[in-house]
Amino acid sequence: MSRANDIRHYPWAKLVTVIFFVWLYLPIAVVIFYSFNENRLVSVWGGFSTRWYTAALNNGALIDALRVSLIVAVIATACATLIALAGAMVLTRSAGLRYRRLSETVINLPLLLPEIVVAVAVLILFSRIGLTNGILRLALAHTTFCVPFAFLPIRARLQGMSADYEEAARDLYAAPFTAFRRVTLPLIAPGVFAGAMLAFVISMDDFITSSLLNTGGSTTLPVYIFSLIKQGTTPELNAISTLLILASLIIATVAFAVSARAMRRDRRDGPTSPGNKERPR
């Protein structure tokens, strides 16, 4: 890239970049800073203390809400990833498949619709069929909107993988499921992992659907945090938010490390796209 086309040399580029990141991350830094405040008043610094982390970890209602969120997120992630994997395999590995575009649109439809519309529709459906189990309602609803988030990374990984590997496995008399388990799945594992992590984070972060579908004993963590905000901001709430930020950073770091490892392996093993196949001699 020439110096004239390098965006880093545009006028005011550095200043705009600094302002952007300060505007984006300063509120998060303030939340983390005041989570160590000894004073109960958030805006008045009273000295360094970790008492609010202890209070948060000893909060029974918070632990129950976290437990519900984890159960729902794990179930929704597993179901959404399996559905997304099956859909991506069909859409990328089925030659002459009819209505391919329509099928992709149906899978990605939860991304296009407002979440409140999907939440109300699911609420009406569950009321009609008489489903009252709170955790099951949440798990089914979360699976619905997590599928496209898991589908996109998996499909991208499959599209970047040459079908020659699977054809070679079948030429060596491997059964279809054996070829998938021993060849396809290991190669697309980074995409599957990225899709699962994305679905997990989206499920843990959901508020609108969870607030409409939660019942007694099935309050998720975002809904519980919102109930605390209505009572006023406290250092305990800042401590909870800091712990969530830390958990998100750990998940993002793991996902980035897995993706980076897959990219290094791809560069080492050579291109895998059909357009870059080596010609036989």
Quickly list DSSP for the chain: --GGG-GGGSTTHHHHHHHHHHHHHHHHHHHHHHTTBSSSSTTS---B--HHHHHHHT-HHHHHHHHHHHHHHHHHHHHHHHHHHHHHHHHHH-TT-TTHHHHHHHHTHHHHS-HHHHHHHHHHHHHHHT---HHHHHHHHHHHHHHHHHHHHHHHHHHTS-THHHHHHHHTT--HHHHIIIIIHHHHHHHHHHHHHHHHHHHHH--HHHHHH--TT---HHHHHHHHHHT---HHHHHHHHHHHHHHHHHHHHHHHHHHHHHHHHHHH---SGGGPPPP-
Residue type, 44: V
Query: What pTM does this model have?
Result: 0.79
Question: How far is the C-alpha of 37 from the C-alpha of 57, rounded, in Å?
Answer: 16
Question: How far is the C-alpha of 269 from the C-alpha of 116, rounded, in Å?
Answer: 45
Q: What is the pLDDT of residue 55?
A: 86
Q: What is the pLDDT of residue 273?
A: 44
Per-residue pLDDT of the chain (281 residues; tens, 9 = 90+): 455 566 666 777 788 888 999 998 898 898 888 888 888 777 778 888 888 888 888 888 888 988 999 999 999 999 999 999 999 999 888 877 788 888 888 888 888 888 899 899 999 999 899 888 889 999 999 999 999 999 999 998 888 888 888 888 888 888 888 888 888 888 888 889 989 988 998 998 899 999 988 877 788 988 988 888 777 667 888 888 888 888 888 887 887 787 777 677 767 765 444 444 443 33
Which residues, other chains included, contact 149 with Cβ-Cβ below 8 Å and sequence gap of 6+?
80, 111, 195, 198, 199, 202
CATH topology classification for 59-276? MetI-like fold (1.10.3720)
Beta bridge partners of 37: 48
Residue type, 36: F
Cβ atoms of residues 234 and 44 within 8 Å: no
Q: What is the pLDDT of residue 172?
A: 85
Question: How far is the C-alpha of 14 from the C-alpha of 5, rounded, in Å?
Answer: 15
Question: How far is the C-alpha of 54 from the C-alpha of 218, rounded, in Å?
Answer: 24
Q: What is the pLDDT of residue 226?
A: 87
Residue type, 112: L
